[in-house]
């Protein structure tokens, strides 16, 4: 069968460096760090006392107060970002068939705030079960796509993807495939996460995964820097409207870019560590290129997973060299996690958005907080340190890798008829 073409017609973002798409891009373009001391709980006894939190967010500004109280923070983020993307795409005013519009949403952990609150309250009590009737529906990861569909009346495919930090890239890949296989005309996709709480911070600290640079949190996320010491936990959401090309053209939609390929793979190696030779990361990029029918030389920019961990960064660069060879020296490579922190299951969504805007605007967002070269990385590679770079970007690739060895990549291309 003929595969249908899929384009991006709407975007929304709620991030640690901007609460709208425009503000997010401004933060990326200006190299803004979203890291600061934690405000959501007293972190003074934790090894890491800072995170990239969403700032100045009041859910009742966007959602009815009663409804908002029945949503975990990750779902509130999902609702707000998708509302923005739907408006950006003009779907709120378009004559569309709701049976052909789906919602596929990614989250790695889901309602951890709700889970922590309910279980803590029970543990402090006398043993009498006094759980909220909304405990389970607020906690489960699939509630976000469910509530998005209820809010907008979309009756197409509806589910959540869970693959740790690759979750929202998996959601985008599924949305892409459902549309090109004619299972839907439009899919609202992306992902959200909200895990800045005692349980997540304590858990990641015990794994020694987080930076402990409490004296200088704004520069703590240092991908590819010699002195990187772990990732910075982030929160937020990114939303994309994917749409079949002819459907988008028929309604006169604005088109940001085209999604042309996705790749999926597994490391099959370790619970949390990446494969030492970058085999899974190598395979996922090859799979994405093959799916897109593209050669490595056609890629201009890679938005890397780039978490700022001692193990992860070198393995990803090794994989890039495996796939791109000499062309790697002509690429722009950057990690926007240096600014946003790591949004876990929401990372792929906001980083795919950064890649889309790089293609759309011809601007490469930087890897900030670079101070000391690491001899592990070839100095001839352009890791886009500290400042944006301007160039024509015909195609961009975005990588996300998750605990359990889950790998997902998506390729975005400049739209041409």
Active-site residue flag, 165: yes
- Which candidate in 275, 342, 370, 406 is catalytic? 342
Task: Note if 305 is an active site residue.
Answer: yes
Convert the chain into a string of H (helix), E (strand) and C (coil): CCCCCEEEEEEEEEECCECCHHHHHHHHHCCCCCCEECCCCCCCCCCCCEEECCCCCCHHHCCCHHHHHCCCHHHHHHHHHHHHHHHHHCCCCCCCCHHHEEEEEECCCCCHHHHHHHHHHHHHCCCCCCCCCCHHHHHCCCHHHHHHHHHHCCCCCEEEECECECHHHHHHHHHHHHHHCCCCCEEEEEEEECCCCHHHHHHHHHCCCECCCCCCHHHCCCCCECCCCCECEECEEEEEEEEEHHHHHHCCCCCCEEEEEEEEEECCCCCCCCCCCCHHHHHHHHHHHHHHCCCHHHCCEEECCCCCCCCHHHHHHHHHHHHHHHHHHHCEEECCHHHHCECHHHHHHHHHHHHHHHHHHCEECCECCCCCECCCCCCCCECCECCCEECCCCEEEEEEEECCCEEEEEEEECCCC
What phi and psi, each to the nearest 5 degrees, are found at residue 211?
Answer: -65, 145
Q: Which residues contact 118 (CB under 8 A, 6 or more apart)?
A: 131, 132, 135, 139
Residue in 165, 247, 262, 370 annotated catalytic: 165
Of 152, 247, 275, 305, the active-site residue reads 305
Backbone angles phi, psi at 265, to 5 degrees: -160, 175
253-287 burial by CB neighbour count: b if 16+ within 10 A, else e?
bebbbbbbbbbbbebeeeeeebbeebbbbbbbbbb
Kindly report the backbone phi and psi dihedral angles of residue 253, in degrees, each rounded to the nearest multiple of 5, phi listed first: -75, 150
**Catalytic machinery residues:** 165, 305, 342
């Amino acid at each position: 069968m003929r595969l249908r073409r899929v384009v991006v017609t709407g975007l929304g973002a709620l991030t640690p460096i901007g609460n709208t798409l425009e503000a997010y891009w401004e933060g990326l373009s200006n190299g803004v760090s979203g890291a600061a001391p934690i405000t959501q709980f007293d972190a003074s006894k934790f090894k890491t006392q800072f995170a990239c939190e969403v700032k100045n967010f009041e859910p009742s500004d966007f959602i009815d107060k009663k409804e908002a109280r029945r949503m975990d923070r990750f779902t509130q983020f999902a609702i707000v970002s998708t509302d923005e993307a739907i408006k950006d795409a003009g779907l709120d005013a378009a004559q569309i068939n709701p049976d052909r519009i789906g919602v596929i949403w990614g989250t790695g952990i889901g309602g951890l705030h709700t889970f922590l609150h309910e279980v803590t309250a029970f543990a402090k009590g006398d043993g009498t079960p006094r759980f909220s009737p909304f405990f389970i529906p607020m906690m489960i990861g699939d509630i976000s796509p469910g509530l998005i569909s209820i809010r907008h009346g979309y009756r197409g495919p509806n589910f959540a993807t869970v693959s740790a930090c690759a979750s929202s890239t998996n959601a985008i890949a599924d949305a892409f495939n459902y549309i090109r296989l004619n299972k839907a005309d439009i899919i609202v996709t992306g992902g959200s996460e909200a895990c800045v709480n005692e349980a997540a911070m304590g858990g990641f600290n015990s794994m020694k995964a987080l930076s402990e640079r409490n004296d200088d949190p704004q520069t703590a996320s240092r991908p590819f820097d010699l002195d990187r010491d772990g990732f910075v936990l982030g929160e937020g959401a990114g939303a994309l409207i994917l749409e079949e090309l002819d459907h988008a053209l028929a309604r006169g939609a604005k088109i940001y870019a085209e999604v042309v390929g996705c790749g999926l793979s597994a490391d099959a190696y370790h619970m949390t560590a990446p494969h030492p030779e970058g085999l899974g990361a190598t395979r996922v990029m090859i799979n994405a290129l093959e799916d897109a029918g593209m050669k490595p030389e056609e890629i201009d920019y890679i938005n890397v997973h780039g978490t700022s961990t001692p193990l992860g960064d070198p393995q990803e660069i090794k994989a890039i060299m495996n796939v791109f060879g000499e062309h790697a020296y002509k690429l722009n490579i950057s990690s926007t996690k240096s600014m946003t922190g790591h949004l876990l299951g929401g990372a792929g969504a906001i980083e795919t958005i950064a890649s889309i805007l790089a293609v759309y605007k011809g601007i490469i967002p930087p890897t900030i907080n670079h101070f000391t070269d690491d001899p592990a990385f070839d100095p001839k590679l352009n890791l886009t340190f500290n400042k944006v770079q301007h160039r024509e970007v015909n195609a961009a690739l975005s990588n996300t890798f998750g605990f359990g060895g889950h790998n997902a990549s998506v390729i975005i291309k400049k739209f041409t008829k």
